[in-house]
A and B are shown apart, each in its own frame.
Chain A
Amino acid sequence: MREHRLKIGVSGIRGVVGDFLTPSLACSFAQAFGAFVGAGRVVLGRDTRSSGEMLQHAIACGLLASGCEVVDVGIQPTPTIQVYVGASRARGGISVTASHNPPEYNALKLFNHEGLFFNHYERRELLDIYYESEFRHAANHEIRGIARDTETPMRLHTERILRQVDVARIKARRFRVALDAVNGAGSVLSCRFLERALGCDLRAISVDPTRPFPREAEPRPDTLGELQELVRRNRADAGFAQDPDGDRLAVVDEQGNVLDNDDVLALVVDTVFSSMPGDVAVNLTTSSVIEDIAQLHGRRVYRTAVGEANVVDMMRAVDAVIGGEGANGGVIFPAVQYCRDSYTAMALLLDLMERTGEPVSALAGRLPRYYRRQGKVAFEHGLLGPLIQALEEKFPDAAADHTDGLKLLLKDAWIHVRASNTEPLVRFSIEARSAERADALYALATKTGDRLPVPHFSS
């Protein structure tokens, strides 16, 4: 498998900083972005990884060279930047973050004037400009400056969220909350948000944005031991873990158990359905628990290819009230902004806890139980097509969805195989009503196709 240290493609630019992701690459990509959005204001922020400062200067150079005015918001969570871009008259925004990737990586997340991820067509157009190097080269009198604003984005984002929950009642409960912000972009805002805005009794770790990530960047059950311990030791009502740019959230219940990300999304969907009309959109890999919740409320579920931009496109098309990507821990609530947002998820969960008066474990325990298995194999040319055909032959009666690889819908289970957007991998997801059925299907799916290598297991 090729070491995947630089990728320039429709998902933007991502790579290992040093010999791969260089300042020159970042600068020319920013020039392409500037040429695409036009000579107006562009919001620029970053997460806390060590290469952020360097890349931010390279990007500012490219944007200024294209005649854009740069609004430097400094270290900010990605959803905070997206809210700010949407609320200001900016032409677009760039967040310098590799999200949940390891610290040696960095990348650019690109937003249009509404603060939304570029959709597929916008990304393709931007890539064309980049490859053709048809940049706009501003002359001295056309070059604008850099404005700095670190406070407004945090204030706007917080205000938007607080309008959607019962702040007074949440404050009155004075929830004891444990937080692990992975020393990421959320370090400052998360403390302010939970402590000041929502009146929580906060017990926080890893909230120093000047220090490296103390754990794996992705908030997964096997990496959150410290937070679990913090919850138990402090008898906290809940524990929250963010990724470095604050779009993903993992939740620990009051007993110290990490909730399944699909269940977190299900709880949020449930609470939003209880107070607002509208449907839900989720990606194909998200748990069927969403269908169960929707059925209870008489709402529709729309399924999309994996990827935040795909979910957002669908949500806008069907005017969904809530959406997200289950396994990735991303909640998208348009009343705040069309973006994955750990802050919105935290507020909605605290609101749910306040309204029901029940502990997190009980809320999660009432959700229909599903068993999930996930795996991945290295992508090879000619691997995915035969695998999809073989699976369809094996389950001729199952409904097949070809939106993103293959999703086979069985009576009591589903199987989803697809190529990753960001890494050279084929991903498997299986969900069933029993653990035995999930294991059996997993074994079957991964043995299907005569050219398949032995997959790497993770559940």
Chain B
Amino acid sequence: MVHHRQLRISHAGLRGVVGRGLEAAHVLDFAAAFGTFLGPGPVVLGRDPRSSGVMIREGVIAALLAAGHDVVDLGVVSTPVIQHEIRLTGAVGGISIGASHNTAEWNALKFFASRGTYLSTAEATELLDLYHLRKFRFVEHTGLGKLRLEPNAIDRYLDQLADVFDLRALAGYKVLVDCCNGTSSLILRRMAGRFGLNFVLINEQIEGMSFAHEPATNARMVSLQLAPLMKPLAADAGFLFDIDSDRVAIACEDGAPVSEEMILPMIADYLLPRGPGKLVITNLSTTALVEEVACRHGGKVVRVPVGRQAAMDALATYRPEQIAVAGEGTGAVMMPQFRFVYDGIASMLAILSLMQHHEKKLSEIVNGYPAYSILKDELPLASQRIPALMMELKSQYADGWIDMRDGLRVGWPDRWFHVRVSQTEPVVRIIAEQKGEPPAALFDALMEQVRSLA
């Protein structure tokens, strides 16, 4: 396989193709920067099963010990397990080694604050500055940290889930899960053993060299992996996880994939009546079905720019009890009960609990919501043309509600569009949604307008 050199250093941390961009030196420097950034105290560490994780783990441990931090290594676990363990043990921070939905040759470092959540923008900026300065605080030989192995974190994580969801009540469902050779199988096997849930696991072998398929959590992958098995197995629901189990994709009992756009509205529907929080935090590109669901329960949607960083910063501006749920159209969801950790397994339990509460099949629940049609595409555009594009669109669609916090979003009572610049690639993303039929004319006009400026 030929790969381009790939390395991305950003507020989200460090990500790249191992040996073809992401090298040991980056790992040591980034971990040393994080060790310098944190106050004194232990740091929790875990990894997904990629082979390169063993190498990266050694580098991360060395740098953290050198910076004077004790390291608590959870071994191969999902990212949410690491995040919960940070909070439960009073650690000063944590690192997850794993590239989530990327293919096996990728790896990444994700950094967490003592709250167990991703770093805020201000914190991530500070970390990047320390990384670029390379002025690390290494302690003398008498102050070096110690490594400790902690094998029981998964059980403590399951205790947290069992506090929120009635796991035994879900034992009647037959649930098909594609683990994609990732960490979810470790957790689900243990969960089945302790609480009697009925999982049928496929691709459940933990693998480091390559995965059974691309670990993408989307409808296409559900159609390929879960759909053909749902009816033969008579499964009630199907779930597909990425490697570190922070994201999930879903299949109905009839094999139909559930759009990833549906996951946040469904979980909001389940959580809004069950907690004090009335706010749903999501980004400007997420379906308007969220507003409709929130309305039913007397809730309110707070929209923020696209990206994890904006979501983390928005969470910091509200008290946790004000919030019902936060998430995005990709299916990544955070719940206040779990201290705002993106968690695919918690999302799965919320969906199963929703089925159990309504005593309905999953397809009936999904089809019970009003239909929204969304169209998405992307086009390359030179950066210097972007302001002109935005101003042109703004004046052209001046009759709608204008939001310019992240590109341009214009809304009308039954439709909206969002034109924004990707943070990861030099492209403009165009999204338009309408209640009922697809907004084809609006979408085509937008695409044409971007093309004319290219």
Q: List residues of chain A with CB under 8 Å of any chain B CB.
A: 16-19, 22-24, 26-28, 31, 49-51, 53-55, 57-58, 60-62, 64-65, 103-104, 106, 135, 137-146
Chain B residues with Cβ under 8 A from A53's Cβ? 65, 144, 146-147
Task: Map CB proximity to A onto B136-168 as digits: 1 under 8 Å, 0 otherwise.
Answer: 101111101111000000000000000000000
CA distance A190 to B63 in the complex (A): 32
At the interface, yes or no: B333 with Cβ under 8 Å from chain A?
no
At the interface, yes or no: B28 with Cβ under 8 Å from chain A?
yes
- Contact between A141 and B141 (Cβ–Cβ < 8 Å)? no
Cβ of A17 to closest chain B Cβ, rounded Å: 4
Known: A27-B28, A54-B62. A141 touches B140 (CB 8 A): no
CA distance A16 to B59 in the complex (A): 19
Known: A53-B146, A138-B19, A143-B18. A61 touches B141 (CB 8 A): no
The stretch that binds A, out of B48-56, B273-281, B319-327, B337-345, is: B48-56
List 10 interface pairs A-B (beta carbons < 8 Å), by A numbering.
A19-B138, A23-B63, A23-B66, A53-B146, A53-B147, A54-B66, A57-B59, A137-B18, A137-B19, A140-B52
Using C-beta atoms within 8 Å of the partner chain, give the interface range for chain B.
35 or more
- Contact between A58 and B140 (Cβ–Cβ < 8 Å)? no
CA distance A17 to B141 in the complex (A): 6
- Contact between A140 and B58 (Cβ–Cβ < 8 Å)? no
Choose among A54, A143, A144, A146 the residue that contacts B65 (Cβ–Cβ < 8 A).
A54
Task: Map CB proximity to A onto B192-211 as digits: 1 under 8 Å, 0 otherwise.
Answer: 00000000000000001110
Highest count of chain B CB atoms <10 Å: which of A26, A28, A54, A55: A54
CA distance A54 to B62 in the complex (A): 5
- Contact between A65 and B19 (Cβ–Cβ < 8 Å)? yes
Known: A64-B58, A65-B55, A140-B50. A23 touches B32 (CB 8 A): yes
At the interface, yes or no: B105 with Cβ under 8 Å from chain A?
yes
Q: List residues of chain B with CB under 8 Å of any chain A CB.
A: 3, 17-20, 23-25, 27-29, 32, 50-52, 54-56, 58-59, 61-63, 65-66, 104-107, 136, 138-142, 144-147, 208-210
Known: A24-B29, A54-B65, A57-B62. A140 touches B141 (CB 8 A): no
- Contact between A140 and B24 (Cβ–Cβ < 8 Å)? no
- Contact between B140 and A61 (Cβ–Cβ < 8 Å)? no
Q: Which residue of B lies closest to A105 (CB)?
A: B141
CA distance A28 to B27 in the complex (A): 12
Known: A61-B55, A61-B62, A64-B58. A139 touches B105 (CB 8 A): yes
Highest count of chain B CB atoms <10 Å: which of A23, A24, A64, A135: A23
- Contact between B28 and A140 (Cβ–Cβ < 8 Å)? no
- Contact between A27 and B24 (Cβ–Cβ < 8 Å)? yes
Choose among A17, A18, A143 the residue that contacts B51 (Cβ–Cβ < 8 A).
A143
- Contact between A61 and B27 (Cβ–Cβ < 8 Å)? yes
- Contact between A139 and B65 (Cβ–Cβ < 8 Å)? no
- Contact between A140 and B66 (Cβ–Cβ < 8 Å)? no
